[in-house]
């Protein structure tokens, strides 16, 4: 089976491809099909944004599409940056700037519990929204950035059961336990991909 990932984030694409390859699903990029227009992510939930991205992109392409809306939720910040993870601190910041901003907000704070969340949504390109599934990965925010793999907040996030950040643990370990892996596993268990057959 082939499906297009409606994402402009090349790191997500690499992870989605690696995880779904093991399940026999080939992931095409937006570039592979000539590009897709940007979707305005103005919903206030991961489900809302993921659904919007899947519906608008599949309608534009007339092809089956998978979308991913994800972010980092920090308990002591009432779940921030959450759905605003990609825009935390405003436009013009890069991933490293955003990590520093988060470390600044958590300065002297010993309550560092956090989780990554990911919602995978599917639409069939024939006007049907096929549903969405969420996955989470629990952990905590490190005192400093470590590691150089991955993207986004990976240098700060230490998953439960480990002592290294996602950026230190690397792709294979991250993809075996991440929020994205769990969301895809749930989407498969929920039968979303079966609706495309």
Residue numbers belonging to the annotated binding site for substrate = 7-12, 70, 151-154, 174, 179-180
Residue from 51, 57, 58, 85 binding ligand ITT (CB under 6 A): 85
Catalytic residue flag (residue 69): yes
Q: How far is the CB of 25 from ligand ITT (least distance, A)?
A: 18
Structure-block tokens of residue 127: 């006007």
Using CA atoms, how far residue 178 sits from 3, 33, 49, 145, 155, in Å, is 21, 27, 20, 18, 14
The alpha-helical segments, DSSP class H, found in 106-160 are none
- Is the previous residue joined to 81 through a cis bond, with omega within 30 degrees of 0? yes
Structure-block tokens of residue 98: 């955003």
Asked whether 125 and 63 are in contact (CB, 8 A), the reply is yes
Q: How far is the CB of 93 from ligand ITT (least distance, A)?
A: 10
| Selected catalytic residue, list 32, 38, 44, 69 | 69
| Residue 12 interacting with ligand ITT (CB under 6 A) | yes
The DSSP code sequence of 155-190 is GGEEETT-SS-HHHH-HHHHHHHSHHHHHHHHHHHT
Binding mask 151-170 for ligand ITT (x = CB under 6 A): xxxx----------------
| Residue 86 interacting with ligand ITT (CB under 6 A) | yes
Residue from 64, 125, 135, 150 binding ligand ITT (CB under 6 A): 150
Closer residue to ligand ITT (CB): 8 or 59 = 8
Active site residues: 69
Q: Which residues form the interface with ligand ITT (CB under 6 A)? A: 7-9, 12, 41, 68-72, 85-86, 116, 150-154, 178, 180
């Amino acid at each position: 089976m082939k499906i297009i990932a409606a994402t402009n984030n090349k790191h997500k694409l690499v992870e989605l491809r690696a995880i779904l390859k093991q399940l026999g699903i080939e992931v095409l990029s937006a570039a592979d099909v000539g590009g897709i227009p940007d979707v305005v992510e103005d919903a206030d939930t991961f489900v809302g944004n993921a659904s919007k991205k899947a519906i608008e992109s599949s309608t534009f392409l007339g092809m089956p599409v998978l979308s991913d809306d994800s972010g980092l939720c920090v308990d002591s910040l009432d779940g921030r940056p959450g759905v605003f993870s990609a825009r935390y601190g405003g436009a013009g910041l890069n991933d490293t700037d955003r990590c520093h901003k988060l470390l600044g907000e958590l300065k002297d704070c010993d309550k560092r519990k956090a989780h990554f969340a990911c919602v995978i949504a599917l639409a069939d390109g024939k006007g049907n929204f096929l549903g969405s599934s969420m996955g989470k990965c629990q952990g905590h925010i490190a005192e400093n950035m470590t590691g150089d793999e991955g993207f986004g907040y990976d240098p700060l996030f230490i998953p439960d059961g480990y002592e290294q950040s996602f950026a230190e643990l690397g792709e294979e370990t991250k993809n075996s336990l991440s929020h994205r892996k769990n969301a895809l596993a749930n989407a498969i268990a929920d039968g979303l991909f079966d609706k495309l057959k």
